[in-house]
Amino acid sequence: MVANSGGGLTDAGGGPVRHIPVLLSEVLEALAPAPGKVILDGTFGAGGYTSAMLAAGADVIALDRDPTAIAAGQAIVEAHAGHLKLIQSQFSQLADHAPEGGLDGIVLDIGVSSMQIDEAERGFSFNKSGPLDMRMSASGVSAADVVNRAKLADLIRIFVFLGEEKQAPRIAHAIEKRRAEAPFVTTRDLAGLIEIVTPRKAKDKIHPATRVFQALRIFVNDELGELAQALFAAERALKPGGRLVVVTFHSLEDRIVKKFFADRSGRAVGSRHMPIVHERPATFEPIGKSMVSASDAEAEANPRARSAKLRAGVRTSAPAEAADLSIFDLPNLASLGKLGG
């Protein structure tokens, strides 16, 4: 589940792109992999970060929720016998796979991979005709389930909060009308309707279906909830001095990571209207700049890196805090469990 997609709102979802790890040198500088260190790659994908960390002499525990990525990665496992464990797992469960003494580093690269986009049968791309699926784990509720079953108000909220789609009401009403006649089955079913309802203008930089497809992908895979839980898990799994490096690709993800590091920085609790209540011990200290983005050269060579943002912190010896999701102010959306077939 590596996020080499360039994340946010580009037409990168339309065509094949060679797998290129985003911000690789910056990730390695922040992680500092070396012999004797154990680092967890929570988003294995095609193994770009993992391979680089292995080359630096580190032992790697790599996770991916996508069974296709796990199968494709066996060659890397065999080539680095004894130094790489590849496990099918959601990265929110990463603490379950950490060694007893803790981890020296964790890297999370958030989003959908170029491999998933390039496979029409996965249903991630609006430019490829395939099943309206979008499930990274190949199980559970699909995008078709959401589009065909969610209430009108829930569709609007999903498109607004997760896709930042200004035409959400118009698109959701059109979906409701169309699905009463026939269910949505393929990616082109949905993309074609959106193209009619909100036709592309000459000044538009992205396809009219981009934001809706992004919103559905994030919702189906609970990407924001997974990221939030993964950050809490990383806090528990890292040893003192361990490093957490997170690469995001759009504002929804980056906001969560930014809020997490700010909350864990030990800053005093209070506001300009109220006195300071207390100071909390920091569980993370920043590494370098608060945010690192791709260089102009990398962005030109790899368009999917244009929106990438890296944030990193070093774990202190302070005890992990409670996993309080309220610090992220996540939107209250429909329950995935009620939308299954």
The tens digit of pLDDT for each residue in 77-121 reads 999 988 999 999 999 999 999 999 999 999 999 866 554 444 444
Q: Which of 8, 2, 37 is nearest to 23 (CA)?
A: 2
What secondary structure, in 3-state letters, does the chain show? Answer: CCCCCCCCCCHHHHCCCCCCCCCHHHHHHHHCCCCCCEEEECCCCCCHHHHHHHHCCCEEEEEECCHHHHHHCHHHHHHCCCCEEEEECCHHHHHHHCCCCCEEEEEEECCCCHHHHHCHHHCCCCCCCCECCCCCCCCCCCHHHHHHHCCHHHHHHHHHHHHCCCCHHHHHHHHHHHHCCCCCCEHHHHHHHHHHHCCCCCCCCCCCCHHHHHHHHHHHCCHHHHHHHHHHHHHHHEEEEEEEEEEECCHHHHHHHHHHHHHCCCCCECCCCCCCCECCCCCEEECCCCCEECCHHHHHHCHHHCCCEEEEEEECCCCCCCCCHHHHCCCCCCCHHHHCC
The response to whether 102 counts as a known ligand-binding position is: no
Phi-psi region of 197 (alpha: psi -120 to 50; beta: other; left: phi over 0): alpha
The tens digit of pLDDT for each residue in 35-73 reads 999 999 999 989 999 999 999 999 999 999 988 889 999
Averaged pLDDT for residues 259-280: 70
What pLDDT does 321 receive? Answer: 96
Band of the pLDDT at 11, cuts 50, 70, 90? very low
186: its two tokens: 């393929």
Band of the pLDDT at 206, cuts 50, 70, 90? confident
Question: Average per-residue pLDDT in the chain?
Answer: 86
Band of the pLDDT at 277, cuts 50, 70, 90? low
Band of the pLDDT at 276, cuts 50, 70, 90? low
Judged against a pLDDT cut of 60, whether residue 9 lies above it is answered with no
Q: Kindly report the CATH number that applies to the domain delimited by 119-219.
A: 1.10.150.170
106, 243 in Cβ contact below 8 A?
yes
Phi-psi region of 322 (alpha: psi -120 to 50; beta: other; left: phi over 0): beta
The response to whether 154 counts as a known ligand-binding position is: no
The tens digit of pLDDT for each residue in 295-310 reads 999 988 988 888 999 9
The response to whether 328 counts as a known ligand-binding position is: no
Domain residues of the chain, as ranges? Answer: 24-110+224-268+277-328, 119-219
Q: Which of 4-8, 159-163, 276-280 has the lowest average pLDDT?
A: 4-8
Q: Which residue has the higher pLDDT, 254 or 337?
A: 254
What pLDDT does 248 receive? Answer: 95
Phi, psi of 34 (to 5 degrees): -160, 165
What pLDDT does 79 receive? Answer: 94
The response to whether 109 counts as a known ligand-binding position is: yes
| pTM, full prediction | 0.86
221, 134 in Cβ contact below 8 A?
yes
218, 210 in Cβ contact below 8 A?
no
The second-level CATH assignment, the architecture, of 24-110+224-268+277-328 is 3-Layer(aba) Sandwich (3.40)
The response to whether 49 counts as a known ligand-binding position is: yes
What pLDDT does 148 receive? Answer: 96
The tens digit of pLDDT for each residue in 176-202 reads 999 999 999 999 999 999 999 999 887
